[in-house]
Structure 1
Amino acid sequence: MQLIDSHCHINFDGLRDRLPEVFANMQNNQVTQALAISVSRETFREVLTIAEHNPHIYATVGIHPDSETAEEFTLDELVAHAQHPKVVGIGETGLDYHWCTGDLTWQHQRFITHIQASKQTGLPLIIHTRKAADDTMRVLAENGAEQAVMHCFSEDTRIAKIALDLGYYISFSGILTFKNAKDIQAAAQYCPLDRILVETDAPFLAPMPHRGKRNEPAYVRHTAEFLAQLRGESLETIAAATTENFYRLFSKVVPMV
């Protein structure tokens, strides 16, 4: 059995300074690979360096939507960085109306640039959406985004259906294990097995029984176990499906033997 953490920030404080321990914990929990996510120009360099030095880690390239002043990647830069063999996705990108208000034209344009990069490179988008689900889905559809994963899914079944109808994947984080996450749990039961991924979003959103503590990729096992119980399936079934789904979506990733 193997599990994959499809979204983490192992270059952040509390993880990057203890990577040998983080990787050992992954191995002890049968988490064989992880995708380290770029959120800025600076963090792209960090995650790519980690990926280049560790065969079981891959990286993405992108600018998070939560900062208007963040230095942008141009479309050409995104496309160029995506040629690196360890860069397997575009993002994290999307819309965020929780942290950002007012005229968000800049945020929409940043999102569209990432969608264009995805279409040019054939790499999937990693989608962040917060208090902006309908607009996020509209922008994706209007701009013809072909491959995407709804990262850290925190919406209801209605939004899940829209994403699934567009051909996208749904990734569940530790939020799924929280007692008050009934809408997310219903969506997890609704999603077909061949469209589900699991993630940590480490160091954030640790699942039960570690809620409130620093998250790390090894803890994706707790989310997978909860998902299996929720759906009435075995952990082995969830592990096999989410691993196969990850490799199908992130087709540049070399599977672990």
Structure 2
Amino acid sequence: MKLIDAHLHLDKYKNKEVDSILTGSDWLEAVVAVSFDLKSCKRNLQLSSKYQKVKPAFGFHPEQGLPSEVDFSSLIDWMTLHRAEMIAVGEVGLPYYLRQEQRVSRAQYGQYIELLETFMKLAKEWNKPIVLHAVYDDAPIVCDLLEKHSVEKAHFHWFKGDDKTIARMIENGYFISVTPEIVYKEKIQKIAQIYPLAQMMVETDGPWPFEGPFSGKITQPAMIKESISMLAKIKKLTETEASERVLENTKEFYSI
């Protein structure tokens, strides 16, 4: 079984942990190392030069305060300079959880949308996939923006949303990835039932911690094996069939 962790914050791990993840797993073909900010982008680029398995994506995670104009300009300039070395634009999106905590005003939300549109335009211009943090009622807004800017290669990581949005995403050919939550959360299992396997990947979003059988454990790409096992049951396939299809999806989507 060969697999790719389609969404991992590799730069958040300690050096020894990174080395263990990437050199201790023959079955792990690659990791898509998404970035949080400019510092994170630079770290992921360094890791990709050291480890062949690391496929970096550059962007600005929306669940944080808005960047200054100078900082955002610096990020875009750096991404432009290193666009040939990145596999995708990401992680980018909208701040759903900050809004739930009432830490984002309506005016600020509009600014997050403007940032996201900038990233979408770059993804389109550079012919790169875009990795999205867009859940619940943010997802339809992001779908509107993708359609507006004619961005077709979109990956909604750890997606959560309603059936109407799911149908729209499927119709548009957007991809999703499931985390180890699929092992123990019914709502994720339901999404996996609905979504075509041909448009699915697996991820950990590590080092984000998980519950259920993973409670108290450091999140590692090995957990995606459990996700594949559950996905195979849902899709009524063998684990080998499920893993092969998901691997091919990820390789094709990210041109790995």
- Uncovered stretches (5+) of structure 2, i.e. residues with no partner: none
In the TM superposition, residue 188 of structure 1 has moved relative to its aligned partner by 0.6
Q: 1:161 to 1:79 in 2, by over 3 A?
A: farther
Indicate conservation of the 8 Å contact 2:59/2:92, yes or no.
yes
| 2:159 equivalent to 1:153 | yes
Contact residue 160 and residue 191 of structure 1 kept, 8 A: yes
Shift of 1:76: 5.1
Q: Report the residue type matching 1:147 in the other structure.
A: K
The answer (yes or no) to whether the contact 1:5–1:199 under 8 Å persists in 2 is yes
Is 1:119 aligned to 2:124, yes or no?
A: yes
Whether the aligned pair in 1 keeps the contact of 2:22 and 2:53 (CA below 8 Å) is no
Of residues 106, 109, 114 in structure 2, which corresponds to 1:109?
114
TM-score normalised by L of structure 2: 0.88
1:134 aligns with 2:135: no
Contact 1:125 1:148 (C-alpha < 8 Å) held by counterparts: yes
Question: Which amino acid letter does the alignment assign opposite residue 123 of structure 2?
Answer: S
232-241 vs 200-209, greater mean Cα deviation = 200-209
2:144 and 2:127 map into 1 onto residues whose CA distance is 20
1:196 to 182, 197, 200: 200
Q: CA deviation at 1:229?
A: 1.5
Offset at residue 176 of structure 1 (A): 1.6
Contact 1:207 1:223 in 2 (8 A): no
Task: Note the C-alpha offset of 1:159.
Answer: 2.3
Contact 2:204 2:221 in 1 (8 A): yes
Give structure 1 stretches of 5+ with no counterpart. none
Give % identity: 22
Tell me which amino acid in the other structure corresponds to 2:186: K
> Which range moves more in the overlay, 193-202 or 61-70?
61-70
What's the CA shift for 1:171? Answer: 0.8
User: Who is 2:249 aligned against?
Assistant: 245
Q: Secondary structure at the match of 1:98?
A: helix
The match for 1:4 is: 4
RMSD (CA atoms): 1.9
Aligned in 2, Cα 1:211/1:158: closer, same or farther, shift over 3 Å? farther
Q: Which residue of 1 aligns with 2:82?
A: 81
Q: Which residue of 1 aligns with 2:231?
A: 227
Name the structure with the higher helix share.
2
Give the counterpart letter for 1:230 in structure 2.
Answer: I
CA distance in 2, matches of 1:92, 1:126: 5
Distance 2:165 2:249 in 1: 20
What whole-Å deviation, never above 9, does each CA across 1:108-133 have from its counterpart, x for those lacking one?
A: 01100110111011110001014422
Partner SS state of residue 188, structure 2 = helix
Contact 1:157/1:186, CA 8 A, preserved across alignment: no
- Partners of 2:52 and 2:96 lie apart in 1 by 36
**Alignment coverage as a number of residue pairs:** 245
**In the alignment, what sits opposite 2:22?**
23
